[in-house]
Structure 1
């Protein structure tokens, strides 16, 4: 695990991380807080968020936990208002909440299709809609704000039985490119982070036996959540004139 190093790289930044209760979201929240950002933690599992917030506070950071289902637009908007009142105007958003449920399309797992679309696309858009006004305000006032969308290598590479998941992540990457064109002139940097196979709870949700066997076979070469978190922190720490539009992060041993 990457050791947390306390510094002030992001001092004064007000960050929001969705899907913060585990995996990439949890690791990113810790890294942001360790570098001086105030971090609002969003996810459905209140107990996990409270534990994480307490851990961050114990190490000298500042965190605020909010149990939020990002598929509920009204709840997300209410959370955005509460965070602004509690911390101030958000200038760093890590849109990370998502789910991966690969299965052969012939199985017609429409419940899984819908769940991935609801969380990976609709949930992401709910968060964008709730926080972009604050990011634009922050960009105008501070000269820089960041919207980081966590996509996947599956957005562009082909993986058997990943059709719906891959399509949702292709949406995330393409959306990010368009949002950058809209928001860049307003001092809001937009980045799509595309990890390869990474240790996280996503794999625990997979029901397809073939995919389970494949991921088990590459378990030892997978990225760690902390690797992705470090990249997100680096992206947000660059000078305001620099925008990493799209970053692909692969395990060294993963061929595709």
Structure 2
């Protein structure tokens, strides 16, 4: 009876999950939720102090987690992180690629530094992490029959939001890349999924400096109940806990009151 209950309530027991952008928001909530579902979790982000607090909290709640402070825009650092995951946890079979930044502004402002920051983190950082961990995912899938690569995209990959052009373009990259990788990796039992959330209440909005975008976000929050990080965490957990034969290619999750 105990074993059956454990399988039912902790469907990710025995799995090793890597979560990037884990020091706050969606990544933090997801790391805690995956640990609750039974996975051992490696949490990756730049802020070591926040990661240490997260690991302590997961441990207090009966889970297992390892903190790895890393800037994912540094390819060598991402590969070193993968080496630690292999050495300390035996290799990953679930990667939630979540690190990202949103810096909207009118294109005519020529906010070149912000353009580059979004490209570096949302695209280059994503690729660095994929490059570092894909060998582990393929190996794990070959051994157990399933592994997961889950990438955080955005509803902005589909819809038009004025002044969000560069951010939206980086997220369109994430969605389209995910579709292609699913074709490449599905035959090797690595499931690839892209999650496209609408507005989620996280630190992401605090990075915005454009006054027009800030006003739009404030107006949206007054009229719409935004998604929470926990909503996304439960979505990731649901995707990862599906039977190996089932792969959600793309999932759009929106606040009920957000029209587009």
TM-score range, shorter chain: over 0.9
Picking from 244, 251, 254, the partner of 2:255 is 251
1:8, CA displacement in angstroms? 1.4
Report SS of the residue matched to 2:141.
helix
Structure 1: distance between partners of 2:135 and 2:85:
13
Structure 2: distance between partners of 1:40 and 1:49:
10
The runs of at least 4 consecutive aligned structure 1 residues that moved more than 3 Å come to: none
RMSD: 0.8
Structure 2: distance between partners of 1:123 and 1:7:
33
Structure 1: distance between partners of 2:52 and 2:165:
35
Question: Is 2:234 the partner of 1:230?
Answer: yes
Structure 1: distance between partners of 2:233 and 2:153:
13
Picking from 84, 87, 105, the partner of 2:89 is 87
Q: Aligned residue for 1:186?
A: 188
1:214, CA displacement in angstroms? 1.1
Per-residue CA distance 1:180-201 (angstroms, 9 max, x = gap): 0000000000000000000010
Per-residue CA distance 1:114-136 (angstroms, 9 max, x = gap): 00000000000000000000000
Per-residue CA distance 1:33-59 (angstroms, 9 max, x = gap): 001000000000000000000000000
Per-residue CA distance 1:162-209 (angstroms, 9 max, x = gap): 000000000000000000000000000000000000001010000011
Structure 2: distance between partners of 1:89 and 1:141:
12
| Alignment coverage as a number of residue pairs | 251
Q: Aligned residue for 1:215?
A: 217
Output aligned runs, 1:155-170, within 5 Å: 155-170=157-172
Question: Is 2:242 the partner of 1:242?
Answer: no
Please, which runs of 5 or more residues in structure 2 have no aligned partner? 1-7
Question: Is 2:49 the partner of 1:47?
Answer: yes
1:7, CA displacement in angstroms? 3.0
1:221, CA displacement in angstroms? 1.4
TM-score, normalization: structure 2?
0.96
